[in-house]
Amino acid sequence: MFTRQKTTVSNVHFQNIESLVDKLRHADAILVGAAAGMSASCGYNFFYQNDAIFEKYLGEFHKKYGFTGAFNGFYYRYPSPEARWAFLARLAYLEYECETGKPYYDLMELLKGKNYHIMTTNQDFQFTRVVPEEKLSAIQGDSRYYQCSHRCHDEIYYNEEMVYAMNEAIDENLCIPSQMIPLCPKCGAEMEPWVRGYTFLEGKKYKDEYRKINEFLEQNKEKKILFLELGVGRMTPMFIQEPFWNLTYSLPQAFYITINPKDAILPQALIEKGIAIKEDISTVLQEAVTLYRQETGDLAETLNELRRQIQERRTIK
């Protein structure tokens, strides 16, 4: 019984991989929608858990304030602006220092040479390292930028130098000097990370992100278009998941694939136009790359990848 069940699960897994590669290969256009689960598949769980990366960079803040995960740290009510900006600086420093996860590279290998666009609710700018700006829409903001907290003008400011300087200046009380708090150059109010929140600036940059998506859809709506959803949960389905469902339903040649170990949902109305892959995103993308290389004749790369995977499994055992 156990062997039969294991075999059935294995068959479904490989059917999923084959279906994904087949749809990617034959699509005329691909719109990727990626959310928090994409970075989580890299092993980056610091937004919601006190994982090893969290402890390395933000462990001091946890010990002092008691919150779990960077998300809760972002919204924590700190005793002073100096304390809050110390946390914000350290979090942004973490994001700048964090290596690009392998699933991002695997995805880009699958999209290489194809007509694609990527939209993401992630603010950790992992995608910006592997995707040209004109092919990427960060619809919930980007942690690399600051904005005026009063939204007195429509401009965002690249913050890397400020982040590194503030992080270096964090003292033993987990505060930065008052004079280092970023202030708006127009009205003098405190700046704020340009990410979705109560003061989020939906200005020209925000509108430009949606312009790119809308232009891509307009150019490809009559074609065989694939909507590929990666790691979208149920916290904010209105930004990627629900629009993907509606577009797949309404566009004649559209197809929808969702990959998510927890929230891979396929509406009944899309049962003939979609696949829900309830598996680890990292594993699915990695094995899709291996199959894609094999089918496109890159045998040397395929063999090297298979050897590496086998060695990893032996190491784990």
Mean pLDDT by 10 residues, the chain (317 residues): 46 92 97 95 92 96 97 96 98 96 97 98 93 97 97 98 98 98 98 96 98 98 98 91 98 98 95 97 96 75 60 56
Question: What are the DSSP calls for 186-255, one per residue?
Answer: TT--BEEEEESSTT---SHHHHHHHHHHHHHHHHHTTS-EEEEEES--SSSTTTTHHHHHHHHHHSTT-E
- Does residue 148 fall inside a structural domain? no
The pLDDT value recorded for residue 12 is: 87
Number of domains in the chain: 1
The pLDDT value recorded for residue 312 is: 64
- Does residue 151 fall inside a structural domain? no
| Residues spanned by the domain of 249 | 13-42+100-140+203-316
The pLDDT value recorded for residue 7 is: 47
Please state, in angstroms and as integers, the Cα–Cα distance from residue 33 to each residue in 122, 131, 227, following that order. Answer: 10, 13, 7
- Does residue 186 fall inside a structural domain? no
- Does residue 195 fall inside a structural domain? no
199: closest CA among 154, 156, 148, 140? 148
Token pair of 6 as six digits: 């294991």
Cα 112 → chain centroid: 18
The pLDDT value recorded for residue 9 is: 54
- Does residue 63 fall inside a structural domain? no
The pLDDT value recorded for residue 300 is: 57
Distance CA 31, CA 106 (A): 16
**Please, are residues 252 and 276 in contact by the beta-carbon 8 Å criterion?**
no
- Does residue 258 fall inside a structural domain? yes
Q: Using alpha carbons only, what angle is made at residue 209 by residues 203 and 212, rounded to the nearest 5 degrees?
A: 135
- Does residue 235 fall inside a structural domain? yes
- Does residue 132 fall inside a structural domain? yes
- CATH number of the CATH domain containing 305: 3.40.50.1220
pTM of the model: 0.89
